[in-house]
Amino acid sequence: MKSKISFMKKIGHLFKVAAVYFFTAIFASQCFAQSSANSTANIDKRSQQYMEMLNGVFDFVQRNYVDEVDPQVLYTGALKGMLSALNDPYTVYLDNSTFRSLNDTTKGKFGGVGLSISKPFESTPEKPAYVEVASPVEDTPGFRAGIQAGDLIISANGTDTSTITMDEVLDILRGPVGEKVELIIRRGKNIEFPVTLKRAMIEVPTVKYGTIKEVQKAGTVGYVRIIEFTPQTAERVQQALDSFAKEKISALIIDLRNNPGGLITSVVEVADKFIDKGPIVSTKSRLSFENSVYTASPRKTTFKSKVPIVVLINRGSASASEILSGALKDNHLAYLVGQRTYGKGSVQQVLPLSSTEGLKITMARYYTPSDTNIDKIGIPPDREVLFPEFGETGDKQYTELMKSGEIEKYVEQNHAGHDMTEAQIAAYAEKLHQKYDAIDLPTLRKLVRNEANRTKGAMLYDLDWDIQLVAALDILSTSRAEFDALVKNTKTLKELQEEAALKEGVAAVEKK
């Protein structure tokens, strides 16, 4: 008994030394800057007890497990388990490969397939933890292959993605340029098809723009697609606005579809170009230094033409793109068209633990100007416009078409080396429609057009297929007075959430 007591006392002592070192390393970061005395005072007895028990188990397993154990394996497992217990998909341990990938993305270049992805922590037989595509990066192998936001990657190079970690998925998707990656994609409930991608040098894009002229009596409409919010985004958006000023646009469309987010400082700079006063976004946390209010400044407002603005959103619009759309909506400066957004209302910071690993941790939640958090809720459009679903027969036909490689073969055999005209695209789509009659013609034309333009890069817009963009132009073709009344009568996000809560309350009372 005495030897066991002595052993546990030794463990406790070892733990205290390790704990002091570990927490000193973490809290040395600016993100956690506070005095050592305050940190010690805030750790209660229960925390100390749990930490001693954790360290005791760590030491005991390392000394007594049947096989010799690398302490790094236990350390990594403990960190992953601790952070996953928070049930927050955005608070994660970053191992060497993930940390490297994050650095690659920050630098703006990396070898990969061009897919922004997420993965649930828990996997069950009823709901396997497959990788979900948040959005494809434009003009990349994943984008050109037609992979869409919401698609599931159920297999990567023959490995079931529900059985491996996010780190392992990234190791498959990213790597040497030119190597092939074999994926199985699931779309909706019933569509499954294989996709072969060849890794390319991915340069994270940020903004594309141009004009749409004389469509549906809307005049000359400025069109700017913000692909991601990086340090360069505000400058690129300003270039677009300067170009639009020269062309004297009569309306503006801001396309945030499939924009996964980015830097909060970047989206604030962009929003400030349109909003001349009041809050753009605020962050709230239990840590006082994380509480911030980003306020618009009149001298930074560069878009002063006051033309009608429509913002396009969909389920791939997340985080910073939701900040911009929410700020414009709450300030009654724009009309939102499309689909409910993803619903990521939290702010993360990356904390390096060493030169090769770190933590990404949620530090705060952000709130729109009407003081509303949209986490796990998203932002609903003012006018919902959804792409048509195929139905069971259409799903089967789409799967068959994608598996067959029919379109790729036709384009290669008949149009290799020269452009395929719209008339030729339409004619071949009509021919396909005879066989795949449950798939609508615009979708078939889109698939053919994507393949025909595979080597030329993505079109700026596609009015033949893009019913959400067409709906935006339709709204902008109304009179200025009608549009202003439309925007003025929209509800803020706070009003919408209060309305939804009231309905839920009424429904609960009626059930009783």
For 440-488, what is each residue's pLDDT tens digit?
A: 999 999 999 988 887 666 789 999 999 999 999 999 999 999 999 999 9
The pLDDT of residue 100 is 64
229 and 186 in a common domain: no
Tell me the average pLDDT across 173-200. Answer: 92
Residue 77 CA to residue 58 CA, distance in Å, equals 10
pTM above 0.85, yes or no: no
Task: State how far the alpha carbon of 235 is from the alpha carbons of 54, 84, 246, in Å.
Answer: 49, 37, 17
Q: What is the DSSP letter of 163?
A: G
Question: How far from the centroid of its chain's Cα atoms is residue 449's Cα?
Answer: 26
Q: Does residue 188 sit in the same domain as residue 212?
A: no
| Mean pLDDT across 402-413 | 89
Pair (332, 284) in one structural domain: yes
- If one compares 40 and 506, the residue with the highest pLDDT of the two is 506
Residue 81: per-residue pLDDT: 92
State the residue range of the domain holding 464: 391-468
Q: Helix (H, G, I), strand (E, B), or coil: what is residue 264?
A: helix
Residue 503 lies in a domain: no
Please indicate, yes or no, whether residues 101 and 156 belong to a single structural domain of this protein. yes
Quickly list DSSP for 287-349: SGGG-EEEE--GGG----S---EEEEE-TT--THHHHHHHHHHHTT--EEEES------EEEE
pLDDT of residue 105: 58
**Are residues 166 and 273 located together in one domain of the fold?**
no
Residue 197: the pLDDT is 95
Q: Is 479 a catalytic residue?
A: no
For residues 318 and 202, the model is more confident at: 318
Are 213 and 341 contained in the same domain? yes
What is the Cα–Cα distance from 382 to 336, expressed in whole angstroms? 5
Q: What percent of the chain has pLDDT over 70?
A: 88
Range 433-436, long-range pairs (CB < 8 A, 24+ positions): 436/397, 436/398, 436/400, 436/401
Note if 162 is an active site residue. no
In which band, very low, low, confident or very high, does the pLDDT at 494 lie, cut at 50, 70 and 90? very high
How high is the pLDDT of residue 124? Answer: 81
| 66 CB-near residues (< 8 Å, 6+ apart) | none
Place of tokens 């946390």: 285
Q: Which residue has the higher pLDDT, 133 or 305?
A: 133
| Mean pLDDT confidence for 402-410 | 90
The verdict on 246 and 283 lying in the same domain is: yes
Q: Is residue 378 part of a domain?
A: yes
Task: Please report the pLDDT score of residue 433 as a whole number.
Answer: 97
For the segment 197-225, the average pLDDT, to the nearest whole number, is: 90
Say if 479 falls within a structural domain: no
Q: How many domains does the chain have?
A: 4
**Statement: residue 5 has pLDDT above 60:** no
Please state, in angstroms and rounded to a whole number, the distance separating the CA atoms of residues 468 and 466. Answer: 5
Average pLDDT over residues 148-162: 92
**pLDDT at residue 29 in the model:** 39
Q: What is the pLDDT of residue 107?
A: 55
Residues 219 and 263 in one domain: yes
- Supply 323's token pair: 């900040």
40-49, 192-201, 408-417: range with highest mean pLDDT: 192-201
Residues 365 and 434 grouped into a single domain = no
Please tell me which residue in 167, 255, 330, 474 is annotated as part of the active site: 330
Specify whether 54 is located in the same domain as 178.
no
Q: What is the CATH number of the domain that holds 156?
A: 2.30.42.10
Domain-embedded: residue 274: yes
Average pLDDT over residues 353-366: 91
Per-residue tokens: 369 = 């100007």
Our answer to whether residue 319 is catalytic in this structure is: yes
- Taking 80 as the threshold, does the pLDDT of residue 280 lie above it? yes
pLDDT score, position 66? 95
Whether 410 is in a domain gets the answer: yes
Residue 475 located in a structural domain: no
In this predicted structure, what is the pLDDT of residue 137?
82
CA distance 474 to 347: 36
**pLDDT for residue 32 is more than 90:** no
| Cα atoms in the 13 Å half-sphere on the side-chain side of 70 | 4
Residue 82 lies in a domain: no
pLDDT over 50 (residue 223): yes
Give domain status of residue 193, yes or no: yes
Select which of 319, 325, 346, 370 is catalytic.
Answer: 319
Average pLDDT, the chain: 86
Looking at the fold, whether 135 and 102 belong to one and the same domain comes out as yes
What mean pLDDT comes out for the span 132-149? 85
- What's the pLDDT score for residue 403? 87
The CA–CA distances, whole Å, from 372 to 149, 307, 415 equal 25, 27, 52
Same domain, 275 and 369: yes
Q: Which residue has the higher pLDDT, 319 or 103?
A: 319
Tell me if 92 sits within 8 A of 176, measured CB to CB: no
DSSP state of 390: -
Query: Looking at the predicted structure, is the pLDDT value of residue 258 above 50?
Result: yes
Predicted confidence band of residue 19 (pLDDT cuts 50, 70, 90): very low
- pLDDT class of 309 with cuts at 50, 70, 90: very high
Residue 150's region, left for phi above 0, alpha for psi from -120 to 50, else beta, is left
Average pLDDT over residues 392-400: 92
Catalytically annotated residue among 119, 208, 329, 344: 344
Q: What is the mean pLDDT of residues 126-152?
A: 86
Any idea what the CATH number is for the domain that residue 215 is in? 3.90.226.10
CB 91 within 8 A of CB 348: yes
> pLDDT tens digits for 107-131?
556 789 999 888 876 778 888 989 9
